[in-house]
Structure 1
Amino acid sequence: MSDYTTAELQTLVKAPMMAGLSVAMVDMGIISTAIEAAAMSKQIAGAAEKYPANSIIQAGFSEATLRSRDVKLDKPDVKPEDVKSGAMIDQAIADISAALAVVAGKATPAEVAEYKQFIYDCGAAVAAAAGEGLFGTGSNKVSTAEAAALAKLKAALEL
């Protein structure tokens, strides 16, 4: 099966989810958040296919793993003040650090690099999914707040 325990798999899956969620939360709107959630779901659902030779992504995001329901993610407890203060990004970075600690020594440097890029891509897909303005249709897709969140994620991932 995999070299990871169920708890480790949850940590591996949580990092990209929190990266995407933290970017979505810096700039919330009812419609745009739904569009962003769909973009993140697409990234997650396509991960195993996009990275067929990556043991980390196969372990956490294969169809079998996602269907097994063994990996359960708790709904994050998000408070409005956490969004405004930047605590959401800090939490995502802590989750990323935990995930990178899990894969250390269990995956090749190339696989870890791909996994880091995948985590970042989840945040970037969310940022680019919906624009500003009514119904998220504005021409400026990545807001200043989202760009700042992505810059923090990129620095934490050392990309």
Structure 2
Amino acid sequence: MNKLEQYSDEEWNKIAVLPQLVGAIIAAAESSGLVGSTKEMMATAKSFLGAKEKYPNNALIQAIIPQTKDVDVVMEDVSEEKTRFENKIKEYEVKTKDELTAKVLEDCKSAMVILKDKESEATISEYTTWLLEIAQNVANAGTEGDFLGFGGVKYSDNEKTIVEALKEALS
């Protein structure tokens, strides 16, 4: 059975888009400027690429990330994921970063209910670990509160608060 066949489209879309959403709520927690924001986007991308090697036996994670080196196929996958992400943001109908964070945390909780019904504890553990790694990688990628690269902090209090809320939502 194909990994996607055990999920409804709604369930799969929720589970598959969470890694991007987790990166987005951490990136939105604080203003990082152009350079910091770029670093945060790259941290999410690197977390996707790293998951391919770090979790090679996790069919759930492997179904989410591109599985080919063919640039055209990867770009098609990325385009589909971008559309999924944009559609989810529109569906949320949020106006603030706090509303976005609240919606993503709700989706984390509901995704966990779905996963607990369909996946092994090991698969779920690796998926939640991956999501938290994305959050921490993004939090550590940029510097918040700096001015032209001076000052600021790597891992802000707002980011720490969101990571703690993520841990709770994913438990």
- TM-score w.r.t. structure 1 length? 0.82
Which of 41, 45, 53 in structure 1 is aligned with 2:45?
A: 41
1:152 is aligned to 2:165? yes
CA offsets 1:55-77 (integer angstroms, 9 cap, x no match): 21122224259655665413224
Root-mean-square deviation (Å) = 2.7
The 5 A counterparts of 1:96-107 are 96-107=108-119
Distance (whole Å) between structure 2 residues aligned to residue 7 and residue 49 of structure 1: 27
Distance (whole Å) between structure 1 residues aligned to residue 45 and residue 148 of structure 2: 19
1:89 is aligned to 2:93? no
Distance (whole Å) between structure 1 residues aligned to residue 108 and residue 131 of structure 2: 8
Match for residue 58 of structure 1? Answer: 62
Structure 1 residues 127 and 153, CA, compared in 2 at 3 Å: closer, same or farther? same
Structure 1 residues 124 and 104, CA, compared in 2 at 3 Å: closer, same or farther? same
TM-superposed CA distance for 1:89, in Å, is 1.7
**Corresponding pairs, count:** 156
Distance (whole Å) between structure 1 residues aligned to residue 94 and residue 118 of structure 2: 37
Give me the identity figure in percent.
24
TM-superposed CA distance for 1:4, in Å, is 3.6
Structure 1 residues 135 and 19, CA, compared in 2 at 3 Å: closer, same or farther? farther
Match for residue 27 of structure 1? Answer: 30
Match for residue 136 of structure 2? Answer: 124
Structure with the greater alpha carbon radius of gyration: 2
CA contact (8 A) 1:6 1:70 kept: no
CA offsets 1:42-93 (integer angstroms, 9 cap, x no match): 112222221111121122224259655665413224999512xx22221111
Distance (whole Å) between structure 2 residues aligned to residue 81 and residue 70 of structure 1: 24
Which of 113, 125, 131 in structure 1 is aligned with 2:125?
A: 113
SS of residue matched to 2:103: helix
Q: Which has the higher helix share?
A: 2
Structure 1 residues 137 and 52, CA, compared in 2 at 3 Å: closer, same or farther? farther
Distance (whole Å) between structure 1 residues aligned to residue 161 and residue 140 of structure 2: 13
